[in-house]
């Protein structure tokens, strides 16, 4: 069925109470995946939707889910431990983002929601389930644990949604997903959304969806059309100076690394040079993850340094730049990482930093992803292409203190949200005295002792660094950015 991109939400059948919520959030025009799927999903038909992350899938399933649970106009209190709708998500971040989108819709019609995932104590989740919830948004592992402890039953589920199904497969969750879906009533509505539809997803479709309406209004390759893809060929010692120049431009930036250690080390290094940055990776506690994402959303942090866990788990509409500090291992990861920009119809820029040893890997990666990037050989942060890719005056207002103490006991080194005054940094942490640092940077790219300083365009400031190769294909981990401090 072709998408009706000119339709309004009202014309598609969305109830007035939910239209008011959308209007309050200035959401008035359906995205292609929403326009394509809503006529079928609102009628209760099973739906198979293919659309990249950021294409509007959460509303595509959230609107019909809430509508169908409130169809009789008199919300009934759900039975204890027996949710009426289930949304399965692969990561904690994605589950939280889905909940944030659906909760206002549910509240508008008197429905209750809750989230269930690991990394936090299960007590509040158990209490919420016992009190009764209409819509449960969950990660498979923790939900199976709670069902095993008899804190939850899926016997009353009327609508089941599987979001990011291909990522579920990548993470090895499909056996758990099948066990959970087997516990939902066979007559219920089921919606499956995925960026790609491969053989692993076909197994789920054939087993659990009945005559589904199939829509591919926004394919996994669609980010290519709205993004400018660039590869910057740099010497290894120039990666940090070039990256610092890019993230010092106005706007939000997401930087991807291959390893958890690399993300942590790079975030600390950026803060050391006055760039407000937070990290997101698997070693952080849930509290630290939440604080760091809050800091990024609010603008307290302008740069998020993340591993692939965030490639699908973060939804921020105004990310203007994505930088692959470490090229990803395979093309699907490249597309999903890159999908952090060019969201909600906006344009975006994607940059991959490539050393000479990585040329073959990056060439194979971009070919598999179906893109032809513009490749530029640059010697350092003075190259004019950097201003073209990340326009605006460079500034480094001061880093964020990422220590657990600054995060008020955040744990695992993941602070976020508390800005250290730029002028009060100890001299040793400003970066202003690093060897080889001079006046070579353009006036627009400011860096003083108070703003965290700037790296030299030459390699002299790398004299204390340690270099370690990591990842497949001869790539280097972002631990190389860490200036030797572990």
- Contacts with 136 (C-beta within 8 Å, 6 or more apart), sequence order: 83, 85, 86, 87, 113, 114, 115, 116, 129, 143, 152
pLDDT value at position 433?
Answer: 35
How confident is the model at residue 293, as a pLDDT? 85
Which pLDDT score is estimated for 75?
61
> What is the CA angle 162-164-168, rounded to 5?
85
pLDDT at 369 (0 to 100)? 82
Query: Percent of the chain having pLDDT more than 70?
Result: 74
Highest mean pLDDT of the ranges 81-95, 316-330, 449-463: 81-95
The token pair at 383 is 């190259």
More confident site: 431 or 87? 87
Percent of all residues in the chain with a pLDDT value above 90, rounded to a whole number: 49
Residue 354: its H or E element: strand 348-354
- DSSP category for residue 336: H
When pLDDT is cut at 50, 70 and 90, the band that residue 484 belongs to is very low
pLDDT category of residue 313 using cuts at 50, 70 and 90:
low
Helix (H) or strand (E) holding 252: strand 252-256
Find the helix packing angle between 92-108 and 286-298, rounded to 10°. 70
Q: Contact, 366 vs 372, CB < 8 A?
A: yes
pLDDT, greater one: 443 or 106: 106
- Share of the chain residues as helix, strand and coil, in percent rounded to the nearest 5: 40, 15, 45
Has domain 9-218 been given CATH number 3.30.1370.160? no
Lowest mean pLDDT among 198-207, 245-254, 308-317: 308-317
Q: Write out the DSSP string of 369-425.
A: HT---EEEE--STT-THHHHHS-S-B-----B--STTTTTS--TT---S-BPPGGGS
Q: Please name the residue that has the structure tokens 């009628």.
A: 43
Domain with CATH 3.40.50.300 in the chain: 9-218, 223-482
Contacts of 126 (CB under 8 A, 6+ apart): 146, 151
Q: Is the pLDDT of residue 138 over 80?
A: yes
Least confident of 286-295, 340-349, 392-401: 340-349
Average pLDDT for residues 475-486, to the nearest whole number? 44
Q: What is the pLDDT of residue 338?
A: 74
User: What is the third-level CATH fold of 223-482?
Assistant: Rossmann fold (3.40.50)
Asked if the model's pLDDT at residue 319 lies above 60, the reply is yes
Q: Which of 135-149, 215-229, 265-279, 366-380 has the lowest mean pLDDT?
A: 215-229
Identify whether the C-beta of residue 373 lies closer than 8 Å to the C-beta of residue 229: yes
Which residues sit opposite 354 in a β-bridge? 233
pLDDT confidence tier of residue 297, bands split at 50, 70 and 90: confident
Helix ranges (DSSP H) in 149-230: 165-170, 174-181, 199-208, 223-226
Model pLDDT, residue 312: 59
* Alpha-carbon gap, residue 420 to 402, rounded angstroms: 10
Mean pLDDT of the chain: 79
pLDDT of 422 reads: 36
pLDDT band at 457 (very low <50, low <70, confident <90, very high): very low
- When pLDDT is cut at 50, 70 and 90, the band that residue 466 belongs to is very low
What confidence score (pLDDT) does residue 198 get? 72
Is residue 467 predicted with pLDDT exceeding 60? no
pLDDT digit string, tens, across residues 390-440:
999 999 998 887 665 555 443 333 333 333 333 333 333 333 333 333 333
pLDDT, position 201: 83
pLDDT in tens, 37-56: 999 999 999 999 987 666 78
pLDDT of residue 108: 95
Who has greater pLDDT, 136 or 336? 136
Lowest mean pLDDT among 160-169, 323-332, 440-449: 440-449
Whose tokens are 């990290």? That residue is 279
Distance CA 331, CA 350 (A): 14
pLDDT confidence bin for 69, thresholds 50/70/90? very high
In 3D space, the residue among 30, 7, 28, 32 whose CA is nearest the CA of residue 19 turns out to be: 28
Is-above-0.85 flag for pTM?
Answer: no
Which pLDDT band holds residue 99 (cuts at 50, 70, 90)? very high
Of the two residues 464 and 381, the one the predictor is more confident about is 381
Structure tokens at 102: 């659906």
Convert the pLDDT of each residue in 27-41 to its tens digit: 989 988 999 999 999
Query: Using 50, 70 and 90 to split pLDDT, how confident is the model at 226?
Result: low
Burial-class residue 207 by CB neighbours within 10 Å (0-12, 13-18, 19+). exposed
Phi, psi values for residue 343, rounded to 5°: -100, 155
Mean pLDDT, rounded, for 433-452:
35
- Mean pLDDT for 289-303 is 88
Task: Indicate if the pLDDT at residue 371 is higher than 90.
Answer: no
Averaged pLDDT for residues 237-255: 93
Least confident of 256-260, 274-278, 441-445: 441-445
Q: Beta-carbon neighbour count of residue 176 at 10 Å?
A: 17
């Amino acid at each position: 069925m072709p998408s009706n991109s000119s339709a309004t939400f009202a014309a598609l059948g969305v109830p007035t109470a939910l239209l008011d919520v959308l209007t309050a959030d200035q959401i008035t025009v359906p995205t292609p995946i929403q326009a394509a799927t809503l006529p079928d999903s609102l009628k209760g038909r099973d739906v198979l939707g293919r659309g990249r992350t950021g294409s509007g899938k959460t509303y595509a399933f959230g609107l019909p889910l809430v509508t169908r649970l409130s169809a009789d106009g008199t919300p009934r209190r759900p039975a204890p431990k027996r949710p009426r709708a289930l949304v399965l998500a692969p990561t904690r971040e994605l589950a939280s983002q889905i909940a944030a989108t659906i909760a206002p819709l549910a509240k508008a019609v008197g429905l209750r929601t809750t989230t269930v995932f690991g990394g936090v104590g299960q007590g509040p989740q158990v209490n919420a389930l016992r009190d009764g919830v209409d819509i449960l948004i969950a990660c498979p592992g923790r939900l199976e644990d709670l069902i095993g402890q008899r804190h939850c039953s899926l016997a009353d589920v009327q609508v089941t949604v599987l979001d990011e199904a291909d990522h579920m497969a990548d993470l090895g969750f499909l056996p758990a997903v099948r066990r959970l879906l087997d516990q939902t009533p066979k007559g219920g509505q089921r919606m499956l959304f995925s960026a790609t539809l491969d053989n692993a997803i076909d197994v789920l479709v054939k087993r659990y969806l009945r005559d589904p309406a199939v829509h591919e209004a926004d394919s996994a390759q669609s980010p290519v059309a709205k993004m400018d893809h660039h590869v910057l060929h740099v010497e290894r010692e120039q990666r940090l100076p070039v990256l610092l120049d890019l993230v010092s431009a106005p706007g939000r930036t997401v930087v991807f690394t291959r390893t958890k250690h690399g993300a942590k080390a790079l975030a600390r290094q950026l803060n050391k040079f006055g760039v407000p940055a937070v990290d997101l990776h698997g070693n952080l506690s849930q509290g630290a993850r939440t604080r760091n994402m809050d800091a990024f959303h609010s603008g307290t942090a302008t740069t998020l340094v993340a591993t692939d866990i965030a490639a699908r788990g973060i939804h921020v509409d105004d990310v203007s730049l994505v930088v692959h500090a470490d090229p990803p291992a395979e093309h699907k990861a490249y597309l999903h990482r890159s999908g952090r920009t060019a969201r909600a119809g906006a344009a975006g820029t994607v940059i991959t930093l490539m050393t000479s040893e990585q040329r073959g890997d990056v060439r194979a990666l971009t070919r598999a992803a179906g893109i032809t990037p513009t490749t530029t050989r640059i010697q350092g942060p003075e190259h004019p292409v950097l201003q073209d890719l990340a326009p605006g005056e460079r500034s480094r207002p001061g880093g964020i203190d990422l220590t657990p103490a600054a995060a008020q006991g955040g744990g695992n080194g993941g602070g976020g949200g508390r800005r250290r005054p730029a002028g009060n940094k100890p001299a040793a942490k400003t970066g202003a005295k690093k060897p080889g640092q001079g006046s070579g940077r353009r006036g627009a790219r400011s860096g003083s002792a108070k703003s965290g300083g700037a790296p030299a365009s030459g390699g002299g400031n790398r004299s204390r660094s340690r270099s370690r190769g990591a990842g497949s294909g001869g790539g280097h981990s972002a631990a190389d950015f860490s200036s030797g401090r572990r």
